[in-house]
Structure 1
Amino acid sequence: MSETTSQNQLPSPNGFTGSYFLQVWRNTSVTLTPESKSEFDENGEEAPTALDTVNSSGGFSLVGPDKLSVSYPSVNLHGHDVGVVQANHAAPMKRLVYYFEILVKNAGAKGQIAIGFTTSAFKLRRQPGWEANSYGYHGDDGLLYRGRGKGETFGPTFSTGDTVGGGINYDTQQFFFTKNGAVVGTVYKDVKGPVFPTVAVHSQSEEITVNFGKDPFVFDIKAYEADHRSRQQIDIDKISVPQDAGYGFRIVRSYLQHYGYEETLQLFDMASKSMVPPISLASEIGCGEEDSVYALNKRRTLRQLIRCGKVDDAFAKIREWYPQIIQDDASIICFLLHCQKFVELVRGGKLEEAIFYGRREFHKFKISSDFDDFVKDCAALLAYEQPQKSSVGYLLRDSQRELVADAVNAMILSTNPNMKNSRLSMHSSLEMLIRQLTACFFEKRSLNGDQGEAFHLLRILESGKK
């Protein structure tokens, strides 16, 4: 069946395909304010930034105005006179490693300083490690305490001038402690819930400062992570997997076909011709070769026009080739194209023309609140002398053009009458594989008490850079 005869079978442009790309845009536009970025990690978890001054151990510790320094102002009389302070947030759990450090500015009369991790129910009048569900590395004896008052041989003592750190390796489920940049030892983490970085002082004149990552650590935490990842890779490489030299090439090829990169596809085919057998991906991804190359040349042309900012030309081609896609001028795909046209006018400095265009085209989308935030972001570009440096500057990036080009590409693929599942128009087989892999990692993390990191393709790609 030809492309023309399939036009009447197109799913509604306001269906899941358009909504999906609108959600992608929404996810792109959501950014943290500069004030809040320091309190959240890349997974959106609140991360410790200071010491908690609300929950107190009484008058046995004095937290400085910076909320990063602690001193012991009096003389201790017994074991319940400890000055214990937790961090203002629990250690983030959705990552490979968490780490913090203390600097011993003054070991005081007895050097009874401790660093460790405790739960929210911990009694703030006891040394970390002296109570259940707590762990502490103590400076006066170098012992590790975990859940009871008796310590075990662990590492060296620490005193004035020493920098001591405490960390959690969520992959190995271990706490680890460092002294002056070197790992002292590890201990199994048998607490599954969240734990708080915790410090303690317990004799007169003791004073420490805490570093939650605002300043560089003495211990090279990045090298520690890299070493652990290399060990993970060694273990992965030991796994025996049936070899299929052609599969990797075929799945990359299907990606190029899906997004209409025709010229790159031709070069790829020339480079891999002698290495890859001509095997179809039909049985593996649910569509045949004819589906992957559907309207390839036209999809390539439209992608190039949008990537070059020629939205009017793209509109003209769509009207000529696929008028059913934009026959509803209030559809999501039309909205995306009109927004991109508005952005291109701002990019070109044609502000008056952009205002006129926005007034003429955006009014038809006011019937739905789904578009309000996006229209406001576009309009906000007009308020800045340098919009590319503003909070809505993401609209001027090439990635926004790619998003619109992807949406148009998906809408055209969805017109293919032979496509068994119209949702295949949104993602290539390579992306579906990555999404499945990501889902498996999330499931693994869920089974581990929501601890550990998820699969991040960008991190893996960057780790391979020289």
Structure 2
Amino acid sequence: MDVDPRLYEQIAVNDNDVHNIIMSYLVHNCFKETVESFIACTGMKQPSDYLEDMEKRKRIYQFALEGNALKAIELTEQLATNLLEKNKDLHFDLLSLHFVELVCSRKCTEALEFAQMKLTPFGKEQKYVEKLEDFMALLAYEEPEKSPMFHLLSLEYRQHVAESLNRAILAHGNHPTYTAMERLIQQTTVVRQCLNQEHAKSLPASLCKGVFEGGPLGAHQNVHLFLKFA
């Protein structure tokens, strides 16, 4: 079900809301230079320590993305004390990235020693057993990138871990873990799906209000809702 554009073309959009949505995306993804340019152009204000933390998050994200997990762990512990201690799943994923890098570098003996020292203790919990088996199986292949577990060596997997780490650091600092833009798109998608399934009546009024109802006030309040809770 497509909504008639005439229903929302006349709805006024507050420039500050648009600026906040853009800023949320830029800060989340650590685009520091762009953030600084955007602030200069719009006159928005951001705490200096927030920009400093963004630079630190960017370095951590890049190290994780490159597979330099030990450096990512070191910097994370400096920026967000006890984060990894409290988030075992994320800690396991980061340690696993280092293991994978050792395997890819054909340092099998070093990889095995690292696994025995750092990864094996996770095997005490059942939820890690299957993951451990998959990672250890990489050692059985001369060309691990051609093994059934090749996805563990992929850029996509490193991106997944790096993004999870970034969100965890944001949450640790009491910052939104998703951008306002993501939340707005998610909300719009849910509403459209429900309308297509003719289940709109079962939606909470707060979910629909401001997206498809007429009037600038509803839309303005809806954007503020997601800027607050994204």
Given the two structures, how large is their TM-score scaled by the length of structure 2? 0.69
The equivalences for 1:369-448 within 5 A come to 369-416=126-173, 419=174, 425-447=176-198
Counterpart in 2 of 1:295?
A: 53
Greater relative CO (CA pairs within 8 A, separation 6+): 2
The structure in which a higher percent of residues are helix is 2
Whether contact under 8 Å (2:108, 2:139) holds in the other structure is yes
Where 2:182 maps in the other structure, the secondary structure is helix
Percent of residue pairs bearing the same amino acid type: 23
Considering only CA atoms, is the larger Rg found in Structure 1 or Structure 2? 1
1:265 aligns with 2:32: yes
1:11-38 deviation digits (Å, cap 9, x = unpaired): xxxxxxxxxxxxxxxxxxxxxxxxxxxx
Paired AA for residue 32 in structure 2: L
The equivalences for 1:213-362 within 5 A come to 236=5, 239-240=8-9, 241-245=11-15, 247-259=17-29, 261=30, 264-270=31-37, 273-274=40-41, 276=42, 278=44, 289-290=46-47, 293=51, 295-327=53-85, 331-362=88-119
Paired AA for residue 56 in structure 2: K
Whether contact under 8 Å (2:122, 2:128) holds in the other structure is yes
Post-superposition offset of 1:252: 2.6
CA distance in 2 between counterparts of 1:252 and 1:350 reads 44
CA distance in 1 between counterparts of 2:126 and 2:103 reads 24
Whether contact under 8 Å (2:70, 2:98) holds in the other structure is yes
Paired residues, number = 198
Compared CA separation, residues 361 and 320, structure 1 to 2 (3 A): same
1:77-99 deviation digits (Å, cap 9, x = unpaired): xxxxxxxxxxxxxxxxxxxxxxx
For structure 2, the residue ranges without an aligned partner over 5 or more in a row are 200-230
CA distance in 2 between counterparts of 1:373 and 1:445 reads 39
Whether contact under 8 Å (1:411, 1:425) holds in the other structure is no
Post-superposition offset of 1:338: 0.9
Paired AA for residue 198 in structure 2: L
Post-superposition offset of 1:237: 7.4
CA distance in 1 between counterparts of 2:125 and 2:197 reads 37
Compared CA separation, residues 308 and 335, structure 1 to 2 (3 A): same
The structure in which a higher percent of residues are strand is 1
Compared CA separation, residues 239 and 429, structure 1 to 2 (3 A): closer
CA RMSD of aligned residues (A): 3.2
